[in-house]
Amino acid sequence: MEQDLDKVILSKEQISERVRELGEIINQDYSDKQLFVIGILRGAAVFMADLIRQIDLPMELDFMAVSSYGISTKSSGVVRIVKDLDSTITDKDVLIVEDIVDSGLTLKYIVENLKSRKPASIRLCTLLDKPSRRVADVEVQYNGFIIPDEFVVGYGLDYGEKYRNLPYIGVLKPEVYSK
């Protein structure tokens, strides 16, 4: 798998340190609340698992799975819910955990959908942010790293369901995804 990478942009140690910092900030911001954490499958699973271990607060967990990419490297802009929440979020303080915010279209759809369920609050936490690709207006309150417009994999992020298990974030060589 490593031979498919152009370079590593975030090491395992850099990610670990930033996840710890995000956990500390979230602990402070939600110190008087019960947190309801929603992980967006599948990409955010690795990040969410590490993040919640840094949060020392009462919390509930649930997951959503949405599809907007298929097997492409770019979002189609059409979002569909593949797996919805099993729990109600009415009057709860929701933290959505996402792996990467790119165009923002998927996250905007998720936030609008969840707002209709009347939570007390909704905030967003992402490991990676590509603001140069933003099309939809989404406000991310907890941001791990701002990255350039490169196709990245690892630490939960994939291409064709591969590379998720890499412990770092790397840039995939264009010849791998342009076949």
Q: What is the C-alpha separation between 90 and 103, in angstroms, rounded?
A: 28
Asked if 99 and 44 count as a contact pair (C-beta separation under 8 A), the reply is yes
Asked if 173 and 4 count as a contact pair (C-beta separation under 8 A), the reply is yes
Widest distance between CA atoms in the chain: 51
15, 17, 19, 20 alpha-carbon torsion, rounded to 10°: 160
From the list 93, 102, 129, 149, the catalytic residue is 102
Q: How far is CA 51 from CA 46, 154, 175, in A?
A: 9, 16, 33
Radius of gyration, alpha carbons of the chain: 16
Token couple for 178: 């342009």
The verdict on whether 99 is a catalytic residue reads no
Beta bridge partners of 63: 39
Beta bridge partners of 62: 38
Active site (catalytic) residues: 102
